[in-house]
Structure 1
Amino acid sequence: MSPGPDFAVVVRRSAVSGRAYGMAAAAGVSVGVFVWVLATASGIAALLATSAVAFTVVKVVGAGYLLYLGVKAWRAALRKGGDLRLDLPDPGRRGPLAAFTEGLLTNMLNPKVALFLIALVPQFVSGDAGLGDALVLSLIAVAGTVLWFLLVANIVGALRRLFAKPAVRKTVDGLTGTALIALGVKLAVAGRS
């Protein structure tokens, strides 16, 4: 629930493209959480945490992706243009699959998610737990993620008319871009601890 890259992507998608696109981004984040929890419960995420090379590769790719999203948001904030037309399904003319992919990649390319789950999951899964236990834990994590981000997407989507005002839209794009770039830089310089 803490603000981070996933939160920024869901808020921006909901504000700029609408509730359905925010919910698609939320679904992407949730699938990412599901994969990370399964990877953690099965020990795969521990390999990422212990391998400096694997961690660095995921970290650099993830930081690059956050920087890309941040620059894209900044460009949108600086672009001159008229009012956002709410009758368009997506101002970027990209479908819900693009929003889903943004959410998924933002989550999956963040090695800090793996480190967080490595610290958390073992408290809930015993050493002799089977795949079924890991699956149940994954579904619980996904349910919490889905509920939270659907709530965020729906609240921001309900305020979309406010976000359609050029000054507000540019402010949201600028702030989101700044947040994503800052998170990308923070991820790029972060260690494994």
Structure 2
Amino acid sequence: MIPGSTAASFLLVVVLGAISPGPDFVVVTRSSLTGGRRAGIAAGAGIALGVFIWVAAIALGVAAVLTASAIAFTVVKLAGAAYLVFLGIKAWLAVRRGGYRDLGAGEHKPPLAAGAAFRQGLFTNLLNPKVAVYYLALLPQFLPADGAALQTLELTAIATAGTVLWFGTLALVVGALRRFFGDGRVRRGLDAVLGSVLVALGLKVAAETA
């Protein structure tokens, strides 16, 4: 079993890492604004599943192979960059189409569904090989030298729980403020800004060398 102090320290590091602004943060924020708290929480759950898969892959040695192979790393990185740009362009297209109305006046288009938000969160995380690099560097610092599979599984559960904790909180906060952003012009401006941020992050990811 992982000692309680070690588990608490690992959870704190995971949450602090999740808080750092990045693609996951933007996806949950936009999901919460366009689909409400339910969509935001679903996006956060998708990201948490992505973290679980990455950490499990590290335990199986798959992630180490990915980060050791420049070609594999680049393929996943470019796929992730393309997906972020795709999400950003979707936001831009929504701005161009218009159709924004005040929330109190009824929606002109259906809100983002929880299933779609979940998939966006999952793919955004899984197509980011930086997550593998992060946990490859982090896990050994919290595992004993003779760390067993059970202890790795415990850390995997903690990493997943910490991710759910932060992004669930973010979704609730942004979802609660959704009515504050209920003015159609405000939401159109937010879509333009968040779409631009997603495209910029995608281009940044594509340009990074490691």
Q: Same fold (TM over 0.5)?
A: yes
Measured after TM superposition, the shift of residue 151 of structure 1 is 0.7
8 Å CA contact 2:43, 2:117 repeated in 1: yes
Map of 1:15 onto structure 2: 33
Aligned pairs for 1:69-84 (under 5 A) are: 69-84=87-102
| Partner of residue 165 from structure 1, selected from 176, 180, 183 | 183
Measured after TM superposition, the shift of residue 88 of structure 1 is 7.4
Q: TM-score, normalised by structure 1?
A: 0.92
Measured after TM superposition, the shift of residue 46 of structure 1 is 1.0
Deviations 1:29-76 (A, max 9, x none): 011111111222332111111001110110111011000001111122
8 Å CA contact 1:6, 1:106 repeated in 2: yes
Map of 1:138 onto structure 2: 156
Report the 3-state secondary structure (helix = DSSP H, G, I; strand = E; otherwise coil) of the residue aligned with 1:122: helix
Measured after TM superposition, the shift of residue 90 of structure 1 is 10
Q: TM-score, normalised by structure 2?
A: 0.85
Distance in structure 1 (CA, Å) of the matches to 2:159 and 2:104: 34
Q: Percent of aligned pairs with the same residue?
A: 50
Deviations 1:78-135 (A, max 9, x none): 3322415469799456531111000000000001111111111111124532221111
Distance 1:124 1:78, change over 3 A: same
Report the 3-state secondary structure (helix = DSSP H, G, I; strand = E; otherwise coil) of the residue aligned with 2:101: coil
| Partner of residue 47 from structure 2, selected from 2, 6, 29 | 29
Map of 1:105 onto structure 2: 123
| Partner of residue 82 from structure 2, selected from 55, 64, 79 | 64
Say which one has the larger Rg. Answer: 2
Paired residues, what number? 192
Measured after TM superposition, the shift of residue 166 of structure 1 is 1.3
Alignment RMSD (CA, Å):
2.0
Deviates more, 1:38-47 or 1:105-114: 38-47
**Partner letter of residue 68 of structure 2?**
T
